[in-house]
Amino acid sequence: MKFQKVFLRKDVTAVIQCSSCRKTKVVSAIKLIGKHRFKVKCSCGSVFGVELDFRQTYRKKADLDGYVVKLFSEKRQPQLLYESKTTDSKPLNCKITNISRNGITLTTVDKYGIGNGDDIKVKFTLDNSASTEIEKKARVKWVKDNYMGCEFFDTFKHDVTLAFYFL
């Protein structure tokens, strides 16, 4: 069964549209908290799947090389976790897999001592026409092996450069 992705609106409702007859219905998502995928039966008799997306902002798939540094709170210098051998002497130790205005998901080259709640600094180059270099601080929200989701600090969430990148 194919699932259609439905985003939540600011008023915590979702607009679901039948894929057969195009009839739409606005439903309250409060009843649906905890459910991300479910089946819907339309009045026309068609049954289809719906996948709710609870994200606050648009997330763009990416394939960007970068490097990540774990920041320490005890006023010590940032620690470079891994340095690869590259021709332009840039240390590359992660791959940005998707990006939004609020954060990124990245995969590191190796498993490091980065855990939930750790602060990191990540640097990468966008694949736009200007090859814009981005350097941001973020807090790690979740980690699974060498895959992690990070949220930018509030001061970086309204970055104009990233806003234009999503256009």
- 47 and 90 assigned to the same domain: no
Domain span including residue 80: 59-165
**Measured between alpha carbons, how far is 80 from 110 in angstroms, rounded to an integer?**
13
- DSSP label of 154: G
pTM of the model: 0.60
Residue 89 belongs to domain with CATH number: 2.40.10.220
- 45 and 71 assigned to the same domain: no
- 103 and 133 assigned to the same domain: yes
How far lies 79's CA from each of 35, 56, 72, in Å?
A: 40, 31, 8
Q: What is the pLDDT of residues 47-56, one digit of tens each?
A: 998 888 766 6
- 115 and 147 assigned to the same domain: yes
Query: What confidence score (pLDDT) does residue 55 get?
Result: 67
Structurally, the chain folds into a number of domains equal to 2
- 81 and 99 assigned to the same domain: yes
